[in-house]
Amino acid sequence: MKRVENNLNIMSWNVKGLNNPIKKNKILSFIKSKKCDIAFVQETHLLPQDSQTLCVGWVGYVGAASGTSKSRGVATLIGKHLQFKCIQKSKDDAGRMMLMLCEVQGKAVILANVYAPNVDDPSFFGQLEKKISDMGDYPIIMGGDFNEVMDPVLDRSSRSVYASRAHRALKGLTEASIKETGLHDLMQLILGIS
């Protein structure tokens, strides 16, 4: 696969725990095999001192927000082949979001890794929006597990049209972000849905 300059290969993956060394090595090897430049990993289940164990092999930098050894946690893995400089970090205490203002290949960008609660908590998306806003006016690359769907009819097998408060908050965040920053739901772009 020929890489085009300035294009990044980015992956987002809920791994449901990285405490098992064999599983951790298999996941890191798989990400490497996909020639990933940046990987947003959710539900790491790693404590703060354990998150840096992800900085091996192809990984040159790890930005992590830790939960407990049994839940939560996000890690943003940066390939060591990239020109990368972290300027500012912002995370929450629950291990559900890690935002980094950084220079990637000489361009300033916000990398946002999110693992939203799986309960109806609209305040989480308000907190996320504030943290993004506090970082400044830069392009945003966001990945993660939002534990919500953008279109309940399209994205769920049951045709329930119930929209939780968290869903409405996420949709409001996305609609505002589209206008202000050009943030888009990747699947909607791939499928040509607006």
Q: Is 103 annotated as a binding residue?
A: no
Q: Is 14 annotated as a binding residue?
A: yes
How far apart CA 17 and CA 70 sit, in angstroms, is: 7
Mean pLDDT of 101-118: 95
Total count of domains within the chain:
1
pLDDT of residue 7: 86
Q: Is residue 1 part of a domain?
A: no
Q: Is residue 4 part of a domain?
A: no
Mean pLDDT of 74-82: 97
**Per-residue pLDDT tens digits for 9-39:** 999 999 999 999 999 999 999 999 999 999 9
Q: Is 19 annotated as a binding residue?
A: no
Domain that holds residue 95: 10-191
Is the pLDDT at 136 greater than 50? The verdict is yes
How far apart CA 15 and CA 31 sit, in angstroms, is: 11
Letter string b/e over residues 91-111, b meaning 16 or more CB atoms within 10 A of that residue's CB: bbebbbbbbbbbebeeeebbb
**Tokens in use for 155?**
């994205």
Q: Is 43 annotated as a binding residue?
A: yes
Q: Is residue 73 part of a domain?
A: yes
Q: Is residue 174 part of a domain?
A: yes
Is the pLDDT at 73 greater than 50? The verdict is yes
Q: CATH number of the domain that 65 lies in?
A: 3.60.10.10
Q: Is residue 170 part of a domain?
A: yes
How far apart CA 127 and CA 2 sit, in angstroms, is: 39
- Kindly report the pTM of this predicted structure: 0.81
Q: Is residue 3 part of a domain?
A: no
